[in-house]
A and B are shown apart, each in its own frame.
Chain A
Amino acid sequence: MINFQYVRANSIADAVNLIADDPAAKFVAGGTNLIDLMKMDVEQPTKLIDISRLALDKVEDTAEGGLRIGAMVRNSDLAYHPAVEARYPVLSSAIRAGASQQLRNMASTGGNLLQRTRCAYFYDIALPCNKRTPGSGCGALAGHNRMHAILGTSDACIAVFPSDMCVALALLEARVHVSGPNGARTIAFDAFHRLPGETPQRDNNLEPGEMIVAVELPSAGFASNYSYLKIRDRLSYAFALVSVGVGLEIADGRIKAARLALGGVAHKPWRDTRAEAALAGQAANEAVFRQAADIVLRDARGFGHNNFKIELARRAIIRALTQAANGTPQSQSNKKIA
């Protein structure tokens, strides 16, 4: 780890001013990903601006019937928050599917959105990686790519975004509130993370010097019919091979509205509004679910080791939709998949 200067921000304005003065600086909140990347010399900030003590640790009701989650709310506090458990159980479930309780106690809401890929080529500075060193090539394309993306890839990068929480935030249509040198703005969740294209070094659409201050949930929480199904190499404490978040509104046996997002398959949480539209108005049955899965995966492409993910994703989508429709969401402690 290279040496760095440590400073503590006293306010949002102080934080924004501090980072504007030093483009090589980074914000640190929970630190669970950044400090690890610094140990690997993947990240080499010359200054760390500690924003962990800013008063952004509240979960508050909004006037529109939604919830505003401060950027410093810890993942564990959010997962077990009574309002989240009652009104947005798919978010609670997704958070509990990720990491360990120790890491969730440390990791912040804002930091979860900003975590980097766990692609092994990104982490090893001896290997090529267009995300870490633009122009150096992609080691995963013809390398060990079992964990890698099947949707939205480019010739420059096939890394996946690792968050579970963000899959739920994508299907809930969260909004991301940010502050920066040009003031405050709000970013729709689908517009927050990016596909790799020719610029895989950019994970998201934050501008230089901007920081996340809150994540806002609209009122629709899909609390009756939801599921978060995560398929991984061991039953707990592993990143997703494929995960599926589902929220349904069902009336008289028919789907009124559907939300569907996938994790572990792309450079961002993968939401497909065409598949959602195909579900709307249909009876909730396996044939309909299979048709939606086929739409999601219409352009899926494997890279050798990860070809299995396409069929795995198809089955996981059908299973998660079935769980949601039946009102029997996947348990995050009893891992039997019913």
Chain B
Amino acid sequence: MQQRNQPAGRADGASGTVSVNLTVNGTRHSLTLDPRTSLLDLLREHLDLTGSKKGCDHGQCGACTVLLDGRRVVSCLTLAVMQDGANVTTVEGLAKDGHLHPLQQAFIDHDAFQCGYCTPGQLCSGVALIAEGHAKTADEIRELMSGNICRCGAYTNILAAIQQAMRQS
């Protein structure tokens, strides 16, 4: 696991708030937070990055998936204060220099969404799946994408999109 700097992390006794520094999509942020703030709420409520969705808020749907130091996690089940010093990438950070990430383009090419609500989580999860390198076959992709639920049932096209991006990577 990537080593991060280890500031003291002791709460401010008077207000109970905690100082957190973290980098989101390449931009460094310094915030003072209620320790109850989830990483997802930090992104949505404090940084106005509303791409990551609050579907179930219990780690069961995957709509809040982001990359935390390069690894996919459900941002609803970690506290922002625990991620002091972390590097976070959300769906808003996947495109570079005005160009869509190859997986974003593949989702468009394959019509891999209907309502779009799960799509930010599917994209972050798929980007990480390709980087992990464990999935080769369609069965393996389906299994390793099973943490992202799509109630519209766009799974067939999501699979095709990931296969296209995997061939390009």
Count of interface residues, chain A, beta-carbon cutoff 8 Å: 40
For window 16-42 of A, CB contacts with B under 8 Å fall at 28, 31-32, 35-36, 39
Q: Are A8 and B9 touching (Cβ within 8 A)?
A: yes
For window 1-52 of B, CB contacts with A under 8 Å fall at 1, 4, 6, 8-11, 16, 18, 34-36, 38
Contacts known (A48-B35, A74-B1, A80-B134); A6 close to B79, Cβ less than 8 A: yes
Q: Which residues of B contact A32 (CB under 8 A)?
A: 59, 74, 77
Count of interface residues, chain B, beta-carbon cutoff 8 Å: 42
Complex CA distance for A237 and B4, rounded to whole angstroms? 31
For window 51-97 of B, CB contacts with A under 8 Å fall at 57-59, 62, 65, 68, 71-74, 77-79, 81-82
Q: Are A5 and B143 touching (Cβ within 8 A)?
A: no
How many whole Å from A206's CB to the nearest CB in chain B? Answer: 22
Q: Are A103 and B147 touching (Cβ within 8 A)?
A: yes
Which A residues are within 8 Å of any B CB, using their own CB?
1, 3-8, 10, 28, 31-32, 35-36, 39, 48, 50, 52-53, 57, 72, 74, 76-77, 80, 96, 99-103, 105-106, 235-237, 331-335
Pick 28 A–B contacts, CB within 8 A, sort by A. A3-B16, A3-B34, A3-B36, A5-B16, A6-B11, A6-B35, A31-B77, A35-B38, A35-B78, A48-B35, A48-B79, A50-B81, A53-B4, A72-B1, A76-B71, A80-B134, A99-B147, A100-B74, A101-B72, A101-B129, A101-B147, A102-B73, A103-B74, A105-B68, A236-B142, A332-B143, A333-B144, A334-B139
With A6-B9, A39-B57, A103-B147 already in contact, 7 other A-B pairs whose C-beta atoms are closer than 8 Å: A4-B36, A6-B18, A28-B79, A35-B38, A100-B62, A101-B125, A105-B72
Which B residues are within 8 Å of any A CB, using their own CB?
1, 4, 6, 8-11, 16, 18, 34-36, 38, 57-59, 62, 65, 68, 71-74, 77-79, 81-82, 125, 128-129, 132, 134, 137, 139-140, 142-144, 146-148
